[in-house]
Amino acid sequence: MTNKMTDEDFAEFTDPQNHTAQILLAHFFMLDYILEANAIGPAATPFAFQKQITLAWVEKAAAKLPPRHKQCMIWPVGMVEQLKNP
């Protein structure tokens, strides 16, 4: 529960070297984007920048993971590919 973390805990959790957290965040960001896009629908057009930022973040996070963690990113990376190439 990130809202109960201390500043130090949150910094450790969001550290790019914390591979487990990066995987969790990628899944969370993609779920958040998909749910929000479906809830807002066509009205989401003004928020198109969010899509690009989310997709770029997930791709970058996946690229930085060690090989043994790559399989944990199959779903987020697959969603990125689908959203980039509808």
Most distant pair of Cα atoms in the chain: their distance:
40
**Computed from CA positions of residues 58, 81, 37, 56, in that sequence, does the dihedral angle turn out positive or negative?**
positive
Q: What number is the average pLDDT over the span 59-64? A: 96
Q: What is the DSSP letter of 31?
A: H
Residue pLDDT, tens place only, 29-38: 999 888 887 8
* Per-residue confidence band for 57, with pLDDT thresholds at 50, 70 and 90: very high
Report the predicted TM-score, pTM, of the whole model to 2 decimal places.
0.82
CA distances (Å), origin 37, targets 13, 19, 45: 26, 27, 9
d(C-alpha 5, C-alpha 12), whole Å: 10
Rounded to the nearest angstrom, the gap between the alpha carbon of residue 64 and the centroid of all alpha carbons in its chain is 13
Average pLDDT, rounded, for the chain: 87
Residue pLDDT, tens place only, 18-52: 999 999 999 999 998 888 878 877 766 656 678 88
